Amino acid sequence: MKIVKAFAPASIGNIGPGFDVLGMAITGLGDIVTAEKNRIRDVVIREIKGGDRTIPLEADRNTAGIAAREVLKLVKAKQGVELTIQKNIPGTGLGSSAASAVAAALAVNVLFGNRLERDELIPPCGMAEHTISGGYFIDNVAASLFGGVIVSHAAQRQAFSIGTIPDLIVVVVTPYHSVLTKISRAVLPDKVPLNLVVSNMAFTATMVAAVAQKDARRFGLAIQDGIVEPARAHLIPGFQDVKAAALKAGALGSSISGAGASVFAVTDRSSYAKKIGLAMQKIFQQHGISSTITISRIDKQGARVLRAK
């Protein structure tokens, strides 16, 4: 085998109260990485198509390059790889860096004989995210890798998918306003009142139960974050108004997607989805910011190989 092309979906980290624990893969958006063997025993990024022009081509500064290099080490490869990256995830807050890392890790693993189990790809991808963002978290990585709604434990380098909710519709509005993960993590409080911790734990547990019960309404109503969302809200112009507009338009719940600036809302009624998205977009526009709307469902497949030869 000389060339492998892999896809990894976009994802929503935290999903409200589940900071660094819950994640959710979504349909319609994702990155594609093509990996081809070379003879220099290293990683070379040949080209990045689409996306932000500031994304570095240097392998040690790009999550796809870092993840690929870590996989090569694990499989003890005697050859290197050349990567071509197709970016198809807009803005920030939808796990773009994680998707690139996951697609690259999967492609390289398959290219060299599929020697690693899927869960063994978590550490290479987590390392890639850590190198770029400065924090070690795997909620986006695991969601993109496994699909569905996931529960992750960063300290143990473990995660698993708990399933999907077929009736859940996810509306994401991505403003043309970037929020760097390093900055969004820097504004988080060092100490949190116990009652807020208990509240977030209860809502997170409720969301896990809702996935098990396939209950979209219970899942959406549990998107209540009293810790991280308030600390980050000021980083997204108009966020509180955008969230209020989503709820007024019929969303069951709404919050910041990952570190932001994307904002997501969920509903169990397909007839509400476009209305919710337009209401959110209108508020961003009132704050002088253009945005894009993505209407999705939970991606149940996760990362997959598109071509191998």
What pLDDT shows up at residue 133? 84
Q: Which of 145, 163, 181 is the last residue of a domain?
A: 163
What pLDDT shows up at residue 72? 97
Q: Which of 133, 163, 193 is the last residue of a domain?
A: 163
With H, G, I as helix, E, B as strand and everything else as coil, classify residue 124: helix
Question: What range does the domain containing 74 cover?
Answer: 3-163
Task: Identify whether residues 131 and 182 lie together within a single domain.
Answer: no
- In the chain, how many domains are there? 2
With H, G, I as helix, E, B as strand and everything else as coil, classify residue 109: helix
Give the pair of three-digit tokens for residue 183. Answer: 């900055």
Write the CATH number for 89.
Answer: 3.30.230.10
Report which residue type is found at 68. Answer: A
How does pLDDT run across 272-292, given as a tens digit for each residue? 999 999 999 999 999 999 999
User: What are the backbone dihedrals phi and psi of residue 28, each rounded to the nearest 5 degrees, phi first?
Assistant: 90, -20
How does pLDDT run across 136-145, given as a tens digit for each residue? 999 999 999 9
Structure confidence at residue 134 as a pLDDT band (50, 70, 90) = confident
Q: Which of 163, 196, 212 is the last residue of a domain?
A: 163
Give the pair of three-digit tokens for residue 81. Answer: 């790889």
Contact by Cβ (8 Å): 167, 178: no
Strand-pair category, 80-86 with 43-49: parallel
C-alpha separations of 44 from 39, 57, 130 in Å: 11, 8, 20
Task: Identify whether residues 187 and 224 lie together within a single domain.
Answer: yes
Listed as own residue / partner, the contacts of 192-199 with beta carbons closer than 8 Å and 24 or more positions apart are 192/227, 196/226, 196/227, 197/227, 199/17, 199/224, 199/226
Instruction: Kindly tell me if the per-residue pLDDT of 62 is higher than 90.
Output: yes
From first CA to last CA, the distance across the chain in angstroms is 5
Write the CATH number for 290.
Answer: 3.30.70.890
Task: Identify whether residues 41 and 139 lie together within a single domain.
Answer: yes
Q: What is the mean pLDDT of residues 28-57?
A: 92
What pLDDT shows up at residue 180? 85
How does pLDDT run across 87-104, given as a tens digit for each residue? 999 999 999 999 999 999
Task: Identify whether residues 145 and 193 lie together within a single domain.
Answer: no
Cα–Cα distance measured from residue 309 to residue 304, given in angstroms and rounded to the nearest whole number: 15
Give the pair of three-digit tokens for residue 227. Answer: 């810790």
Assess if residue 94 is contained within a domain: yes
Cα–Cα distance measured from residue 23 to residue 1, given in angstroms and rounded to the nearest whole number: 33
Structure confidence at residue 51 as a pLDDT band (50, 70, 90) = confident
pTM, whole model, 2 decimals?
0.96
What pLDDT shows up at residue 173? 98
Cα–Cα distance measured from residue 178 to residue 49, given in angstroms and rounded to the nearest whole number: 19
Task: Identify whether residues 143 and 205 lie together within a single domain.
Answer: no
How would you label 173-182 residue by residue, b for 16+ Cβ within 10 Å and e otherwise? bbbebebbbe
Instruction: Kindly tell me if the per-residue pLDDT of 199 is higher than 80.
Output: yes
Task: Identify whether residues 143 and 221 lie together within a single domain.
Answer: no
Assess if residue 147 is contained within a domain: yes
